[in-house]
Amino acid sequence: MLNTLVADAIWRAEELETRGIPSAQLAWAEVSSIEEDLAKAHPVSEGQGRIARRGAVRAALKTGDYTRAQGLVDRYIAEDGAPESLKTELAEILEEDDRADPGV
């Protein structure tokens, strides 16, 4: 059920963003929230859990909420069993956002 919800939310956010509709940020916040719920439902040892963690961070950044994204990364990196590859990738997602928006 959550997978369907997140797919629908991503589609909606992308459509709003493409059309330049300001509520796209709210839609991305919904995506981040659903992805966070998926991350809670799936352990970091599962592929779905890792995908959800990356998605929650990326969507938080799409809303411009760097503080939320950083908090999610900190939490996910600290999880027992989090693979080094995921830790590196999450840090890189934040670094890419920093480079895209040097005012942060």
1-52 confidence digits (pLDDT tens): 778 999 999 999 999 999 999 999 999 999 999 999 999 999 999 999 999 9
For the whole model, what pTM was predicted? 0.90
Considering only CA atoms, which of 84, 35, 30, 27 is closest in space to residue 57? 35
Per the structure, the count of domains in the chain is 1
Whole-number pLDDT of residue 3: 83
Tokens representing 53 are 């963690």
| Segment among 9-18, 37-46, 55-64, 92-101 with least mean pLDDT | 92-101
Q: Specify the pLDDT at position 12.
A: 97
Q: Which pair of tokens denotes residue 52?
A: 């959800």
Residue 102 reports pLDDT greater than 60: no
Q: Which domain holds residue 95?
A: 2-100
